[in-house]
Structure 1
Amino acid sequence: MLYKLQFLHPIKGVTGFLRAFPHVSLLIWILPLLVFSSGESSLMAHDEGLYAWRSRFMIDKGDWIHPWSTPHHKTPGPYWLVASSYTLFGISEASGRLPSMITGTLSVLLLYEIGKILLGKKIAWLAAAILSVEILWLQYCRLGTPDVPMIFLVLLAIWSLLKAELHPKYRFAWCFLVGLSFGLGFLVRSFMIVLPIIALLPYLLKEHRRHRHLANPMLYLGFVVGLIPTFVWLWLSWLRYGNASFGQLINFVVKLGSGERGNNGLEFYFWNLPVKAFPWFFLSLLGLALLIRRPIPRHQLILVGYPLILFAELSLFSTRLSHYSLSLYPFIALFAAFGLNWLGKIYQDVQTRHGASLKKIPRNLSYAFGILGVLLFVAGIVAFIWGNAEVRKYATLALASGVGWLILPLVWIGRYRFGKKFLTSHYWLAGWLVPAWISLAVAGSSGLIGDYNPDVKAFIQQPTIAQVLHSSPINFVDTRGKTDVLLKFYTPLHGKRVQQVSQLPTSGYAWVSVEQAANLSQPHRVLGTVQKVSLIQLLNN
């Protein structure tokens, strides 16, 4: 679609400019999706709220090394990123999410560069465009978590490995960047960075005689330099906590690997990826099959071997969560782009050299997604008429998606039923990208992406509540779970944290679970309740 704007064929001057600068068209493609919002934003609990609160706690304490009373179980890279953004732009959801937005955008551009080396410019642009509209990827590009920054560092390392092969004259600099990326990856995501390193080992070992990366001393120097911030943090933590500083990091990984989360078994990613990466996952299977059938010379172990090994590692690791699979999404996009480009050639030449069975694939897919579009459109109308305000958000999304997915069959019908030969494969490929882009734009504009706990945000913005929160310390009594995480971030002045109200002074304010508030004998006044937590004022007898 926006690849050199060739899908739409607008003014030649604009098209020529974007042909010369494909990165510009990718920025035009992804940046609106990152900034579209309903005008309100609120944190997602649990993970984003934790990173937001801990980063704020560092600033409040004035201690970026060990603000906690006990040794911490994660490396501080993500907290430093978010805290730095807070320092520059103020404490807010938007500033907390800015590091992920920036690294997500850079990751899209890096995927284009990687794809250009491996598969050519057209497929590379298509892959970068697809990554931008993978819903889970876009969602985490708009969350203040370390997942996307780590993936950016991994893609930077892979790109640097490829550049070291292409430009042996500068291989020392490129290999230094590889090592630096993985070293900083440990700071950002702790031991999780080990998984992509292991997945790259077959390429590094089997192809060693050709590229000689493992014999390059700058690779190891870069890794050590990248580890320096982590070493400094560990040393300063050791001075305060002793050996427990190292123990907490290791124990956390052991704990993650010792049991399943939410009964997510070995089959988890086999169904989760198709759902979260729809429809690109199914196109990626086609692309993967084509690439296995016709391997890419020299780089098959990066293009195919790396994601398959990483998938196996993630599946075998006992803690299986959707966002752990985000490292696979750039390669899902690459495979999907390869498969979609192959289908586009069949669409273009349907009446010439392809077999009868292959000719039907683009047609059947066009009609199938046309039917999906009709179903979504009808469901949206029903929900819009009979649903409440919350349901109507999804109704708007269904209506927009339904209309969007009608593009595919209309392009097919226009070319092969009405003879509109100008409807080339570029338009058909755009028929895949545009509906996904429209759907995500509507989801962002309606708050479905970005405004995850509007009730909490609305509650704390009430004038009477906001006045109390900004003028008095608020104690926390028996608050737990996701609501507790959110309230810790949205409460500017913290008091004590206790299990019983009796442990507090006889006056002041406190967040109290509704169970304790209901059985409280001490004189008090309930100022309001949100998500089973009440803000109360303790009164003197």
Structure 2
Amino acid sequence: MLFKQQIFHPIRVFVGGLSTSPHTSLLLWALSLLLFSSGQDSLMAHDEGLYAWRSRFMIESDDWIHPWSTPHHKTPGPYWLIASSYTLFGISEASGRLPSMIAGILSVLLLYEIGKILFGKKVAWLAGAILSVEFLWLQYSRLGTPDVPMIFLVLLAIWSLLKAELHPKYRAAWCFLVGLSFGLGFLVRSFMIVLPIIALLPYLIWEHRRHRHLANPMLYFGFVVGLIPTFVWLWLNWLRYGNASVEQLVDFVINLGSGERDHNGLEFYLWNLPLKAFPWFFFSLLGSFLVIRRPIRYYQLILVGYPFILFVELSLFSTRVSHYSLALYPFIALLAAVGLNWLGKIYQDVETPQSKSLHKIPRNLSYAFGLLGVLLAIAGIFAFIWGDAEVRKYAILAFVSGLSWLILPLVWINRYHLGKKSLTSRYWLAGWLIAAWISLAAAGSSGFLSNYNPDIKAFIQQPAIAQVLQSYPINFLDVGGKTDVLLKFYTPHHGKRLEQVSELPTSGYAWVSVKQVANVSQPYRILGTVQKVSLMELLKKI
């Protein structure tokens, strides 16, 4: 009996916490997942490494407008955010990721506010909690990229549209905030902000007679104000580069839309979304069915139309990568909350004949995920026993995750086979959230969500290597790809970028690709090699 009480005590604490301030509980729920770490951080290449290096270069060059020798192909919003964080907290992986973390938490709270307007507090809280434990969302909330900050601005705009309808007296202020959010979105994510704007047009046009947002001049005034930083940046760039500044922005979008990446075809998001948003994507399908069956008056084109149109836009855009779909994840969470809440009612209500027939759904789901948990735990045990050190990290994660998913069948068995009627639907719903939270907490603690290139980080932290990097400028010879991106950030003092072996100086240090080492004719000494790049000391001829 004492053992059972101890098992369900964390769930009781969690369920009891739901009665406190929803904002506080969501804040603690999301923040804790953002902080779990192995104690070692390293950047992900390409994107995060590029944003980290370019932001650092802005600071070191003391030029936040055009530090590059040629026109840049992206708007400077994300660089300014990361560079500001570097200025306040120092240059590190953690400070570079801080803007995304803050935007991620604010997005969770905004989704709660949107859900509260559409469905009420319970579903809204579930939506915020689910968004926090969606794998890809959590991963990018912990990366120094512009994706999550842009989505925060989109959610802010959608929330403002809803508030403008609820409070007509302050409609001008709310519409100004809508326009401002989209204008700043262009600064953060360039032309990518156009996709969510287009996805909202059916709601803005079809419901125009009722809300008249498009007739509100403050909407356009806010948009222009939001564009001012971008206009100023473009003007200052035009003074230096001429029309090439605008051409670079446009050409970059055209290039992205002109060819597939990694052969990701039209079907890419059809399998990528279910995988990266598992299991919440499938609950969102149930939620979509329920919402279509019983439409939400006035807001159907936001709740269903917006994510559907955005999905079509992303699928038709020829560059298809996982993080482009992040704008869908808040709505996957919101619709999943609708579906999960409906299942929770079935879990508890067995009085009507219809409920009795549907009662098998939550039962079968509980046992299915319990079986998945058993398989994961067994796989983790075998991998830990027979795997190497690298495999054992995954083995521990699989074992912990497997045990966490056993919560669901345990709750079901205790209620319906052992007579624990106090285990209401709130406990069953909490079981889903806690299992996902434990799995992601284990992933964070193992370094899977923060330490993406531990070999490079370990290499540059070696005392002999660190002393050289801190004391001398390092040249770069034929270093490319992801390794080049990472080494640019982790090398404190840059020398020259060289194209030919003959350009190497007579003395000094250089990062040299392994394939070029054999072509170096002058005396040298290899201090170490990482990811097929060697740190070479060039020795003077005696």
Task: Return the TM-score normalized by structure 1.
Answer: 0.97
- For residues 60 and 86 of structure 2, the distance between their equivalents in structure 1, rounded to whole angstroms, comes to 11
For 2:20 and 2:434, locate their aligned partners in 1 and report how far apart those are by CA, in whole Å. Answer: 22
Counterpart code for 2:361: I
In the TM superposition, what is the alpha-carbon distance from 1:354 to its structure 2 partner?
A: 2.4
Deviations 1:362-392 (A, max 9, x none): 1110110010000000001001111111111
| Mapped contact 2:77–2:188 kept (Cα < 8 A) | yes
Tell whether the 8 Å contact from 2:512 to 2:536 is kept in structure 1 after alignment: yes
Q: Which runs of 5+ in 1 are unaligned?
A: none
Rounded Cα–Cα distance in structure 2 between residues aligned with 1:20 and 1:136: 28
Work out the number of aligned pairs and report it.
Answer: 534
Answer whether contact 2:404 2:434 (CA < 8 A) is retained: yes
Q: Hey, what's the Cα distance between the residues in 1 that align with 2:153 and 2:295?
A: 26
Query: Residues 140-166 of structure 1, C-alpha deviation per residue, up to 9 Å, x if partnerless?
Result: 000000000000000000000000000
Larger mean CA deviation between 316-325 and 513-522 belongs to 513-522
- 1:498 and 2:530 matched: no
Residue aligning to 2:4 = none
| Counterpart Cα distance in 2 of 1:179 and 1:497 | 43
8 Å contact kept, 1:7–1:426: no
Tell me if the contact between 1:200 and 1:306 (Cα under 8 Å) persists in the aligned partners: yes
- The amino acid that maps onto 2:436 is A
Residue 279 (structure 1) aligned with residue 279 (structure 2): yes
Query: Which structure 2 residue ranges, 5 or more long, are not aligned?
Result: 1-7
Indicate conservation of the 8 Å contact 2:12/2:427, yes or no. no
Q: Per-residue CA shift, 1:489-528, capped at 9, x if unaligned?
A: 0001001001122112211100000000133222111000
**2 CA distance for matches of 1:170 and 1:389?**
60
In the alignment, the residues of structure 2 paired with residue 218 and residue 300 of structure 1 have an alpha-carbon distance, to the nearest angstrom, of: 25
Cα distance in 1 for partners of 2:521, 2:278 equals 54
Q: Classify the secondary structure of the residue corresponding to 2:495.
A: strand
Q: 2:346, 2:355 within 8 Å by CA — same for their partners in 1? A: no
Residue 24 of structure 2 corresponds to 24
3-state SS of paired residue (1:354): helix
- 1:31-180 to 2 correspondences below 5 Å: 31-180=31-180
| SS across alignment from 1:323 | helix
- 1:526 to 1:300, Cα distance in 2 relative to 1, 3 A: same
Query: What is residue 226 of structure 2 aligned with on the other side?
Result: 226
2: CA distance, partners of 1:369 / 1:10: 23
Aligned amino acid, residue 317 of structure 1: F
Letter in 1 for 2:381: I
| 8 Å Cα contact 2:179-2:226 kept in structure 1 | yes
In the TM superposition, what is the alpha-carbon distance from 1:6 to its structure 2 partner?
Answer: 12
Equivalent-residue separation in structure 1 for 2:11 and 2:285 (angstroms): 28
- 1:356: Cα distance to partner? 4.6
- In structure 2, do the counterparts of structure 1 residues 296 and 281 end up closer, same or farther at CA, with 3 Å as the change threshold? same
Q: Note if contact 1:346-1:354 (Cα within 8 Å) is conserved in structure 2.
A: no
Which runs of structure 2 are paired with 1:11-410 in the superposition (5 Å)? 15=17, 19-410=19-410
CA distance in 1, matches of 2:14, 2:469: 55
Contact 1:71 1:244 in 2 (8 A): yes
Given the two structures, how large is their TM-score scaled by the length of structure 2? Answer: 0.97
RMSD of the alignment, in Å?
1.4
Distance 1:117 1:411 in 2: 31
Q: Match of 2:441?
A: 441
Residues 468-501 of structure 1: per-residue CA shift (max 9 Å, x gap):
1111100000000000000000001001001122
Report how far residue 355 of structure 1 moved: 4.7
Q: Tell me if structure 2 keeps the 8 A contact 1:510–1:536.
A: yes
Equivalent pairs: percent with the same residue?
80
1:103-134 CA-partner distances (Å, limit 9, x unpaired): 00000000000000011100000000000000
Q: Which one-letter code corresponds to 2:275 in the other structure?
A: V
Which amino acid in structure 2 is aligned with residue 213 of structure 1? H
Q: CA deviation digits over 1:293-325, x for unaligned, max 9?
A: 110001000111100000000000000000000
User: What CA distance in whole angstroms lies between the structure 2 residues aligned with 1:9 and 1:397?
Assistant: 25
Residues in 2 aligned to 1:161 and 1:276: alpha-carbon distance in whole angstroms: 29
Partner of 1:523: 523
1:6–1:197 distance in 2 versus 1, CA, 3 Å: farther
The equivalent residue for 2:532 is: 532
Match of 1:474 in 2: 474
Does the CA contact (< 8 Å) of 1:283 and 1:339 recur in 2? yes
Map Cα deviations across residues 252-300 of structure 1 (whole Å, 9 max, x no partner).
0000000000000000000000000000001110000111111000100
